[in-house]
Amino acid sequence: MHRALANGRIMTPNGVVTGQVLLLAGARIEALVAPDDPRCRAARVDDLGGQLLVPGFIDIQVNGGGGVLFNDDPGLTSIRAIGEAHRRFGTTGFLPTVISDDLATIGRAIDAAQAAMDAGLPGVLGIHIEGPFLNRARRGVHDAQHLRALDEHLVPLLCSLRGGRTLLTLAPEMTTPAVIGQLVDAGIIVAAGHSNATFAEIEAAIAYGLRGFTHLFNAMSPLAPREPGVVGAALYDESTWCGIIVDGHHVDPVALRLALRCKRHERFVLVSDAMPTVGSEQTSFVLQGRTIRLVDGVCVDEHGTLAGTSLDMATAVRNTVALLGLELAEAVRMASEYPAEFLGLGHELGRIAPGYRANFALLDDTLHVRRTWIDGNDSP
């Protein structure tokens, strides 16, 4: 049976459309039609109440949510709880993210992501492995005891996901361009993060397929007058994507505005870097033996080191409008279309257009999420 989403403002690639009906056929969008289209008469109609329907958000960095930290119990139950928590904030596609840990835990996380996709768990697009191939000098809250170099013997483990997307954050100086090339050739999306690399080292990694940068400005060598570092390379290269955390704490909004002047906007991706506090009442959690507290909206350890965020994607979109001065449509694209392109899924996700998967978020006038749809199935 067709479903018809009516009486809404619909954000399409060509702008916001009113007076039209979005016709769904199963998990896909069939067409945007006039209300008197014959197919609407036989469809089940959902009244959107004049609110704004936007493409569902895609979050490529989700450590936790709903009181659950993926590293603590990297299994199917954890992924389900995290996905349900973030769905309430418009996230309809995500990568559960495992941070630096022992190889056995990383293997379990990969298996869990595979099991989630095999089971058709809503929203799961693959996995993000953040570490342990990171530079100690830029490790942030990552546990130093787990950090290690990456050689070719570990490539089979990292490439063991059979479906979906695998995003690997590494410090390029902790491996070789040849190993990066092996990973890329095997279908892994490689991003630089927690890195103290030089500009030249990043350029070499890009030549071998490095595709992006994890939480731009944070935990990476800065732009300096005689060494542009990771930040300089990220802003200089036109082809790569940059994940950004727009919470008003991780990066000063002025720095992000400057970044947006350096590179076309479609190469910036909003991320939450979310921890268990998102979608939960809890104000603290334990991360690999350390207590992380939520203080004035910021997740920090006992030394004041940032430990992910308590940010959701809907808030990131609102912040992008309020703090960075972008138009709402562009902020939404940074949360939907652009991450879809980064993941190589731009042909089916990130837009409201015929043939695309029916993944949406319904926003009220304050840009808070009222309903979501994943593959045509809605939730309050």
- What is d(CA 97, CA 213) in angstroms, rounded to the nearest whole number? 15
Torsion angle, alpha carbons of 305, 284, 90, 42, to 10: 160
Residues forming a β-bridge with 190: 168
Backbone φ and ψ for 378, nearest 5 degrees, come out as -100, 160
Q: In angstroms, rounded to a whole number, what is the distance separating the alpha carbons of residues 316 and 245?
A: 8
From CA 347, how far away is CA 26, in angstroms rounded? 18
DSSP 37: -
Q: Which two tokens stand for residue 7?
A: 């009486």
- Give the Å distances, CA to CA, from 353 to 31, 161, 183, 369: 7, 29, 33, 20
Could you give the CA distance from residue 32 to residue 52 in angstroms, rounded to a whole number? 15
Active site residues: 273
Residue closest to 82 by CA, chosen among 128, 126, 123, 120: 123
Cross-sheet strand order for the sheet of 284-287? 284-287, 290-295, 298-300
Q: Under 8 Å CB-to-CB from 194, ≥6 apart: which residues?
A: 130, 131, 134, 135, 138, 139, 140, 142, 169, 171, 214, 219, 220
Q: Which residues contact 304 (CB under 8 A, 6 or more apart)?
A: none
How far apart CA 301 and CA 142 sit, in angstroms, is 11
Distance (Å, whole) CA 30 – CA 298: 42
CB count within 10 Å of CB 248 equals 16
